[in-house]
Structure 1
Protein backbone atom coordinates (compact mmCIF):
# COMPACT_ATOMS: atom_id res chain seq x y z
CA UNK A 1 0.00 0.00 0.00
CA UNK A 2 1.41 3.34 -1.00
CA UNK A 3 0.99 6.53 0.98
CA UNK A 4 1.37 8.71 -2.13
CA UNK A 5 3.55 11.61 -1.13
CA UNK A 6 3.68 11.11 2.64
CA UNK A 7 7.32 10.09 2.65
CA UNK A 8 9.87 12.29 4.42
CA UNK A 9 11.22 15.06 2.25
CA UNK A 10 14.86 16.03 2.06
CA UNK A 11 14.17 19.45 3.56
CA UNK A 12 12.08 18.17 6.51
CA UNK A 13 13.53 19.32 9.82
CA UNK A 14 14.19 16.74 12.52
CA UNK A 15 13.26 17.81 16.05
CA UNK A 16 14.63 16.30 19.23
CA UNK A 17 12.26 15.08 21.92
CA UNK A 18 13.29 17.95 24.19
CA UNK A 19 12.43 20.51 21.51
CA UNK A 20 9.06 18.93 20.83
CA UNK A 21 8.16 18.78 24.52
CA UNK A 22 9.19 22.41 25.06
CA UNK A 23 7.06 23.48 22.09
CA UNK A 24 4.01 21.47 23.16
CA UNK A 25 4.20 22.20 26.91
CA UNK A 26 2.31 25.53 26.73
CA UNK A 27 -0.67 23.81 25.11
CA UNK A 28 -0.94 21.27 27.94
CA UNK A 29 -0.12 23.57 30.86
CA UNK A 30 -3.73 24.48 31.58
CA UNK A 31 -4.65 20.77 31.69
CA UNK A 32 -1.87 19.85 34.14
CA UNK A 33 -4.30 19.04 36.98
CA UNK A 34 -6.34 16.69 34.78
CA UNK A 35 -3.23 14.99 33.42
CA UNK A 36 -1.98 14.33 36.96
CA UNK A 37 -5.37 12.88 37.93
CA UNK A 38 -5.31 10.59 34.89
CA UNK A 39 -1.77 9.45 35.71
CA UNK A 40 -2.81 8.68 39.30
CA UNK A 41 -5.85 6.66 38.21
CA UNK A 42 -3.86 4.73 35.61
CA UNK A 43 -1.25 3.93 38.27
CA UNK A 44 -3.93 2.80 40.74
CA UNK A 45 -5.53 0.60 38.10
CA UNK A 46 -2.20 -0.96 37.18
CA UNK A 47 -1.35 -1.57 40.82
CA UNK A 48 -4.71 -3.15 41.57
CA UNK A 49 -4.48 -5.51 38.60
CA UNK A 50 -0.86 -6.31 39.42
CA UNK A 51 -1.50 -7.20 43.07
CA UNK A 52 -4.37 -9.61 42.33
CA UNK A 53 -2.18 -12.62 41.40
CA UNK A 54 -0.15 -12.16 44.58
CA UNK A 55 -3.28 -12.03 46.74
CA UNK A 56 -4.66 -15.08 44.96
CA UNK A 57 -1.41 -16.88 45.79
CA UNK A 58 -1.86 -15.93 49.45
CA UNK A 59 -5.41 -17.29 49.46
CA UNK A 60 -4.37 -20.57 47.87
CA UNK A 61 -1.36 -20.97 50.17
CA UNK A 62 -3.52 -20.32 53.21
CA UNK A 63 -6.12 -22.77 51.98
CA UNK A 64 -3.54 -25.56 51.68
CA UNK A 65 -1.51 -24.84 54.82
CA UNK A 66 -4.12 -23.94 57.44
CA UNK A 67 -7.79 -24.37 57.99
CA UNK A 68 -8.33 -20.89 59.43
CA UNK A 69 -11.48 -19.90 57.57
CA UNK A 70 -11.66 -16.42 59.09
CA UNK A 71 -8.44 -15.14 57.59
CA UNK A 72 -9.15 -16.92 54.31
CA UNK A 73 -12.52 -15.19 54.02
CA UNK A 74 -10.85 -11.85 54.72
CA UNK A 75 -8.24 -12.47 52.00
CA UNK A 76 -10.93 -13.50 49.53
CA UNK A 77 -12.90 -10.35 50.36
CA UNK A 78 -9.77 -8.25 49.79
CA UNK A 79 -9.24 -9.92 46.40
CA UNK A 80 -12.83 -9.15 45.41
CA UNK A 81 -12.56 -5.54 46.59
CA UNK A 82 -9.32 -4.98 44.67
CA UNK A 83 -10.84 -6.58 41.57
CA UNK A 84 -13.77 -4.21 41.87
CA UNK A 85 -11.50 -1.21 42.38
CA UNK A 86 -9.43 -2.28 39.39
CA UNK A 87 -12.59 -2.38 37.34
CA UNK A 88 -13.48 1.16 38.48
CA UNK A 89 -10.02 2.57 37.77
Structure 2
Protein backbone atom coordinates (compact mmCIF):
# COMPACT_ATOMS: atom_id res chain seq x y z
CA UNK A 1 0.00 0.00 0.00
CA UNK A 2 2.87 2.37 0.70
CA UNK A 3 4.23 2.09 -2.85
CA UNK A 4 0.79 2.86 -4.24
CA UNK A 5 0.46 5.97 -2.10
CA UNK A 6 3.95 7.18 -3.02
CA UNK A 7 3.19 6.80 -6.72
CA UNK A 8 -0.20 8.52 -6.37
CA UNK A 9 1.51 11.42 -4.59
CA UNK A 10 4.25 11.54 -7.23
CA UNK A 11 1.61 11.62 -10.01
CA UNK A 12 -0.42 14.27 -8.21
CA UNK A 13 2.67 16.49 -7.94
CA UNK A 14 3.90 15.84 -11.50
CA UNK A 15 3.70 19.04 -13.53
CA UNK A 16 5.42 18.24 -16.81
CA UNK A 17 6.34 14.55 -17.05
CA UNK A 18 5.70 11.23 -15.33
CA UNK A 19 7.74 8.07 -15.99
CA UNK A 20 5.89 5.47 -18.05
CA UNK A 21 7.12 2.58 -15.88
CA UNK A 22 5.81 4.33 -12.77
CA UNK A 23 2.41 4.78 -14.42
CA UNK A 24 2.24 1.09 -15.35
CA UNK A 25 3.18 0.12 -11.79
CA UNK A 26 0.64 2.54 -10.31
CA UNK A 27 -2.20 1.32 -12.50
CA UNK A 28 -1.27 -2.26 -11.62
CA UNK A 29 -1.56 -1.34 -7.91
CA UNK A 30 -4.99 0.13 -8.70
CA UNK A 31 -6.10 -3.24 -10.19
CA UNK A 32 -5.83 -2.23 -13.84
CA UNK A 33 -4.76 -4.93 -16.29
CA UNK A 34 -2.39 -3.87 -19.07
CA UNK A 35 -3.36 -5.01 -22.57
CA UNK A 36 -1.01 -4.37 -25.49
CA UNK A 37 -2.77 -3.27 -28.66
CA UNK A 38 -1.53 -2.60 -32.19
CA UNK A 39 1.55 -0.40 -32.51
CA UNK A 40 2.23 1.70 -29.44
CA UNK A 41 -1.35 1.61 -28.16
CA UNK A 42 -1.93 0.27 -24.67
CA UNK A 43 -5.20 -0.31 -22.86
CA UNK A 44 -5.56 -0.52 -19.08
CA UNK A 45 -8.76 -2.18 -17.88
CA UNK A 46 -10.03 -2.46 -14.33
CA UNK A 47 -12.42 -5.45 -14.16
CA UNK A 48 -13.73 -4.39 -10.72
CA UNK A 49 -14.90 -0.94 -11.82
CA UNK A 50 -15.24 -1.73 -15.56
CA UNK A 51 -13.14 1.38 -16.23
CA UNK A 52 -10.78 1.59 -19.20
CA UNK A 53 -7.85 3.89 -19.93
CA UNK A 54 -6.40 4.04 -23.45
CA UNK A 55 -2.94 5.47 -24.08
CA UNK A 56 -0.09 5.45 -26.53
CA UNK A 57 3.19 4.23 -25.09
CA UNK A 58 5.53 7.24 -25.18
CA UNK A 59 8.49 7.13 -27.52
CA UNK A 60 11.32 7.87 -27.95
CA UNK A 61 11.22 9.18 -24.36
CA UNK A 62 9.95 6.98 -21.56
CA UNK A 63 7.65 9.53 -19.89
CA UNK A 64 4.11 10.74 -20.45
CA UNK A 65 3.67 14.47 -20.67
CA UNK A 66 1.36 17.25 -21.77
CA UNK A 67 -2.22 16.32 -22.55
CA UNK A 68 -1.73 12.63 -21.77
CA UNK A 69 -0.50 13.46 -18.26
CA UNK A 70 -3.38 15.85 -17.69
CA UNK A 71 -5.90 13.26 -18.93
CA UNK A 72 -4.49 10.54 -16.66
CA UNK A 73 -4.67 12.82 -13.64
CA UNK A 74 -8.24 13.90 -14.48
CA UNK A 75 -9.32 10.30 -15.07
CA UNK A 76 -7.86 9.02 -11.80
CA UNK A 77 -9.36 12.01 -9.98
CA UNK A 78 -12.78 11.21 -11.46
CA UNK A 79 -12.39 7.57 -10.37
CA UNK A 80 -11.63 8.72 -6.82
CA UNK A 81 -7.94 7.80 -6.67
CA UNK A 82 -6.43 11.33 -6.59
Q: TM-score, normalised by structure 2?
A: 0.28
The structure having more radius of gyration, on CA atoms, is: 1
**Which is strand-richer, 1 or 2?**
2
**Which is helix-richer, 1 or 2?**
1
Higher RCO (Cα < 8 Å, 6 or more apart): 1
